[in-house]
Structure 1
């Protein structure tokens, strides 16, 4: 064979080998769970919608099973969409399933210090969890309950005075509770500088880390695109600037208070005092405070969903009010201790979590080791999504899963149909799994249950009235914003006190809360006081 023929043969072989390799990219390996058909190179990438991904994942789960796989180029994604797979694959193998996939845009904003994004093998994650155990111990939660009770008195007062601004009041309320607990400072009114920085930072972050953001982790070459052609880099820079200004500013205020001997007993003061013991840098401490404040966004979304459900399903509000009135016949406002005597209120809490889970897909996990599960082999590095939405909307498990029906949790522990084997179910499904289970779940649920009880005690919620037709304006129970947290789109409603006697008690409770507020208000101007 002459040299020309040999070169032609080698070239042809190289082309065939290259084409074969390219055609295998995106193809599902035989040892993976089943999933939708793939196309060469891209796999299933073009099939994943940019918005409300949980709905498509749930559709695929009904077709391919409670654990299915997707191919995104070279990468593999596994989606867990039933309670048994969640327990067997995620909970019992928590050490191996608790990693985080690469998250480039998030790291541009937080410099890798945000523990929700950190891999469970890192010092950042271990230090953060150790510190959070102090904040979230039963003793610490009880210590901070008076903050939530006092803040609820302002929420009721604000709703009484300007009910049309209920979304602003809800956001102020949830933000102020955690701002006080974490940093020892109140948010006394909507649109303070701290609240503005927080929600603008959230908005910018969602733009770049949601499904609509740039697929940098799938196409790493995008890292090298200049900012003038990559607007998402500018958004990351703006979000980083806003969030550092907020969290580092709050941390420095807490440091200054401690130096003056004016401790409020907040979480970050304890972190500052234990900073050397925890081995925590200033950056790590500031971003640890951030993880506490982040919960305010999801709690606000929960309360908005609650009101939306009360308007769409008014009989549930009437039943809750009847329960409150029977347990509190003297008409006094509920206390934290009353929650144990309000089973329907607790059922409402569970049903809002089920119908409108605050984080329908949570944050993705990554496998730290290759796992054999059932007849599948799922390789190390696989990205895993827990589809809480699909699990909690399964028509095989729940009667009419798209209907708001708190009674289901009075009939069975997990709200499931009669005869459904619920041994693999747990109440914490909306809060994650394994070592990644939200550490603040008990604090959040305690505050939310109390919020439900106080809102039900105080107000009637009804559709807004069209000023022209005088007819009620219907609400859309499925009209939600896209994002990492499920939040209703803005809607109009009528909020009115149930009686003048309750309105007087709402005003009095707000006045009586002044001493509880005082230690978190040392920064207030005379006009603000």
Structure 2
């Protein structure tokens, strides 16, 4: 028996020694020098997308950081991005577990954070078929058209009433997007028309922002668990409080739809009784499959719409107007296209998009320069793989730096310049150098709706008004701690109704 133990000990030593001496040595991506235990956490500088961009310019487009003991892969080139989401799409299809996931995602049944599996597949099928499909977008087009025309009428009234001061466009765009999404989701405007330009309007909008605009993803507590135990900066407490407030708001919303159904059937979303709300659609499904379509699923889908569809579209509209007001020659070119195709006897509609290539190019160029999420939501590998010739261990978190990729001078001529014409020459959409809403199975399902809101908003408001010019010294700094890339200083604009549109505007 002793000989057997000795033999086994020698065998193990030989195997281990062989692996040490002759086994494959892993080749990890480059990265800055990491500190023990905390890794790179102390050296990370906000905003992360610009910090990662600066490091990639020195070390290359495929980087490995350590956040605590968690390996974090950051890719900043179209080639690496494509490799992650084609060859390794299934490998990186998961999301990491997190403290925010525990408290804010209804036990990970929230589509954006659901693990890759049956629940996620069912939720994605539902959202793409009933909410964000081409047919669903066509069904809800009249909502976007009504709300944007309503905003145009509101702006006209400001000029008629002699209000010559600049208008806070960020506020108006936030009202617009929240009303569009609320009508699609629950069949009502978030702020009633009667409350416009009152303190109640500001209160209701601020309540909505406080609930659904904060970005809550990964925190230091997810990378160094002891920080969670000591209640670092009250992060977990704040998450719990936010979850409770969201629950109250969403419960009331679902209860309101249920009450309408009990009183008179479906909850319509149109001014003339057309369409049904998303909550209605899911409650109908709940009747046939109550075990899956629980109230948590209903609230999670509505919350996803609020988080993914409001601030992102608000930011895109604000950046788009900022860029056009800085480049009046491009604004005039856009207005000329609209005048030629649509004229002054009716407003731009979504049916016109196919015949307005420059309008589409303006929105695409805005999304290139200011993608809604400049750093993608984190992906998580479920097995080891290779990216860019480097070994990537199992359990690696992945971020795609869309900010750097969409401003890569190797891909884009004058990458920091606003040149919508680059999208007129040929359509880059679908390529890996341009992916403002991500690609693959974890791409943003609401990208189509967001693009429709932005195209129609810019189209109608540029059709109806001439806008004051902004200097190139305009403060373009970015806000922090929000769900999307937005301006730190809200856009204030002056405008005048276009003479040729006076008759049509007077009907609003």
TM-score over 0.5 for the pair? yes
Maintained 8 Å contact 2:106/2:300: no
TM-score for the superposition, normalised by structure 1: 0.80
Equivalent position of 2:240 in the other structure: 237
Q: Which residue of 2 aligns with 1:290?
A: 303
Equivalent residues in 2 for 1:41-440 (5 A)? 41-49=37-45, 51-112=46-107, 113-121=109-117, 123=119, 125-133=120-128, 134-162=130-158, 164-187=167-190, 188-189=192-193, 191=201, 195-203=205-213, 205-206=214-215, 209=217, 214-225=219-230, 230-263=233-266, 264=268, 265-275=276-286, 276-277=288-289, 279-294=292-307, 295-330=309-344, 332-414=346-428, 424-425=431-432, 427=434, 429-440=435-446
Query: Contact 2:466–2:498 at 8 Å: present in 1 too?
Result: no
Q: Look up the SS of the partner of 1:142 in the other structure.
A: helix
What's the CA shift string for 1:72-92, capped at 9, x where partnerless? 232100011111211122234
Q: Which deviations, in whole Å up to 9, do the C-alpha atoms of 1:52-85 show, x marking residues without a partner? A: 1100111122222222111223210001111121
Correspondence list, 1:433-452, <5 A = 433-452=439-458
Whether the 8 Å contact between 1:158 and 1:169 is mirrored in structure 2 is: no
- Aligned to 1:401, the other structure's residue is in SS state coil
What SS does the aligned partner of 1:290 have?
A: helix
Distance, in Å, in 2 between the alignment partners of 1:42 and 1:220 is: 11
Pick which of 495-504 and 310-319 moved more: 495-504
The CA distance in 1 between the partners of 2:399 and 2:478, in whole Å, is: 24
Number of residue pairs matched by the alignment? 457
How do residues 472-491 of structure 1 correspond to structure 2 at under 5 angstroms? 474-491=473-490
TM-superposed CA distance for 1:378, in Å, is 1.0
CA gap 1:424/1:373 in 2 versus in 1, 3 angstroms: same
Post-superposition Cα deviations, 1:299-329, rounded to whole Å, max 9, x if no partner, equal 0111111111122222221111121122234
**Do 2:168 and 2:491's aligned partners in 1 also have CA atoms closer than 8 Å?**
no
Instruction: Please give the secondary structure, in 2, of the residue aligned with 1:274.
Output: helix
- SS of residue paired to 1:270: helix
8 Å contact kept, 1:475–1:491: no
Q: Which moved more, 1:300-309 or 1:33-42?
A: 33-42
| Whole-angstrom CA distance in 1 between matches of 2:203 and 2:298 | 21
Displacement of 1:374 after TM fit?
4.2
Residue pair 1:198, 1:246 contacting (<8 A) in 2 also: no
CA RMSD, 1 decimal: 2.4
CA distance in structure 2 between the partners assigned to 1:492 and 1:437 by the alignment = 29
Uncovered stretches (5+) of structure 1, i.e. residues with no partner: 1-28, 416-422, 465-471, 511-529
Indicate the SS of the match to 1:100. Answer: coil
Q: Is the 8 A contact 2:99 2:222 kept in 1?
A: yes
Separation of aligned partners in 2, 1:83 and 1:298? 23
Kindly provide the CA deviation profile for residues 282-306 of structure 1, in whole angstroms up to 9, marking residues without a partner as x: 1221111111122111101111111
Query: What is the SS of the residue equivalent to 1:95?
Result: coil
The alpha carbon displacement at 1:376 in A equals 2.0
**Cα distance between partner residues in 2 of 1:92 and 1:258:** 47
Q: CA deviation at 1:406?
A: 0.6
Gaps of 5+ in 2: 1-24, 159-165, 269-275
Task: Tell me if the contact between 1:91 and 1:433 (Cα under 8 Å) persists in the aligned partners.
Answer: no
Report how far residue 375 of structure 1 moved: 2.8
State the Cα deviation string for residues 318-355 of structure 1 (Å, max 9, x = none). 11112112223445322222221111111101100001
Q: Post-superposition shift, 1:387?
A: 0.6
CA contact (8 A) 1:160 1:503 kept: no
Could you tell me how far apart the structure 2 residues matched to 1:154 and 1:504 are?
A: 15
CA 1:139/1:488 → structure 2, altered by over 3 Å: closer, same or farther? same
Return the offset for 1:122.
6.1
SS in 2 for 1:96: coil
1:35 to 11, 25, 31: 31
Deviation at 1:169, TM superposition (A): 1.4
Q: Could you say if the C-alpha distance between residues 280 and 194 of structure 1 is closer, same or farther in structure 2, counting changes exceeding 3 Å?
A: farther
SS of the residue 2:184 aligns to:
helix
Q: Contact 1:178/1:296 (CA < 8 Å) preserved in 2?
A: yes
Whether the aligned pair in 1 keeps the contact of 2:68 and 2:224 (CA below 8 Å) is no
Q: Measure the CA separation in 2 of the matches of 1:397 and 1:458.
A: 36
Residue matched to 1:453: 459
Give the alignment's TM-score, normalised by structure 2. Answer: 0.84
Distance 1:378 1:324, change over 3 A: same
Aligned partners of 1:76 and 1:383 also within 8 Å: yes
Equivalent residues of 2:151, 2:176 under 8 A apart: yes
> Does the aligned pair in 1 maintain the 2:365–2:419 contact within 8 Å?
yes
